[in-house]
A and B are shown apart, each in its own frame.
Chain A
Amino acid sequence: MAETGRELHKKEAETPETGERTRATRIYSPQVDIIERQEDIVVIADMPGVDEKSIDITLEKNVLTISGKVDAVIPKAHRLQLSEYGIGDYQRVFTLSEEIDRDKIHATVKNGVLKLVMPRAETAKTKKIPIQAEGLGGLMNLDVKSA
């Protein structure tokens, strides 16, 4: 049993976001990790059954859509004896709150795991604003007189 595997069941995506679908499969919502780094945001998604050809990532304005098509490998002539998980496509939509440098987005898929590295746009990078201490000049003439 996985230590932090809180949800063992694949969760079905609530609503297919791209209107009517032509494929008669279920759509699952992949489990993701999102890591915030200084320079970029990393999205890691578990999408077993998907490879680089069957994955589709779009970023429109600030809406990031990840979808993947899965061709179920079902042994012929066999009957299903035990069915603990369903097989289907994946889709998940995120709304980004930050500016992303679209040209530098980098995506890789390995062993059914998608890794998406989205560099923050220059303008959105946190800029440190130095704060200067003001001299105490104005306060100097406030002499405290003791009674």
Chain B
Amino acid sequence: MLWSDQVFDALRELEGMTRTLRRFDLPSSVEFPATNMWVTDDDAVVTTEIPGIDPNALEISVVKDALTLRGSRQAEELKEGESYHRRERWNGQFTKTLMLPFAVEAGKVEARFSKGVLYISLPRAEADKPRKITVKSE
């Protein structure tokens, strides 16, 4: 029937539009701290913004393809007669686990903390790399 075809077309169009819109949405629930991850076939780079933390107290651990970050930041301690006029900055403890696209060579993970941004480079485990199998002709 022509009518239903039109309805279906309209619905399909609407669905397409919502899909386009959704692409511009920010993830609605991001576990703290927000993380970016860049990958190639051989390694991954994870970055996160955690200004003001003590890099020595930061704990980074890798088990196979799971990366866990653990750290904390203390609030400014106020003396008598001092008061917060505005308080927006985060404080407290955080733990976040990220799943990487591949298993990682734990011994070769490197981390660098600069200007409040943490950069972690994670090379892919040799054993996890895809192996090319050559086919021999008889």
Contact = CB atoms under 8 A, between A and B. Distances in A.
Partners in one complex: yes
Interface of A: 1-10, 31-38, 41, 44, 46-51, 73-75, 77-85, 110-113
A78 B88 contact: no
B3 interface: no
Contacts of B45: 75, 78
Given A35-B76, A85-B49, 8 more contacts: A8-B33, A33-B76, A34-B86, A35-B82, A36-B82, A78-B39, A84-B35, A111-B51
Nearest to A110: B52
A75 B38 contact: yes
Nearest to A9: B26
B52 A111 contact: yes
Contacts of B136: none
B82 A33 contact: no
B34 A8 contact: yes
Contact of A32 (B44, B47, B89): B89
Contacts of B31: 1
B50 A84 contact: no
Interface of B: 26-27, 30-40, 44-45, 47-53, 55, 73, 75-76, 78-79, 81-95, 98, 101, 113, 115-117, 119
At the interface, is chain A mostly helix, strand, loop or mixed? loop
Contacts of A8: 30, 32-34
21 contacts: A1-B95, A2-B32, A2-B92, A3-B91, A4-B87, A4-B90, A5-B91, A6-B90, A33-B86, A33-B88, A44-B89, A46-B52, A46-B90, A48-B51, A81-B37, A85-B30, A85-B35, A112-B52, A112-B116, A113-B51, A113-B116
Nearest to B112: A73
B38 A2 contact: no
B36 A5 contact: no
Contacts of A47: 51, 116
B40 A48 contact: no
Contacts of B95: 1
A36 B38 contact: no
Residue among A2, A4, A44, A113 with max Cβ neighbours from chain B (10 Å): A2
B37 A44 contact: no
Given A9-B34, A48-B49, A111-B52, A4 B40 contact: no
B117 A49 contact: yes
B116 A77 contact: no
Contact of B51 (A83, A85, A112): A112
A47 B113 CA distance: 14
Contacts of A80: 36-38
Nearest to B94: A2
A79 B39 contact: yes
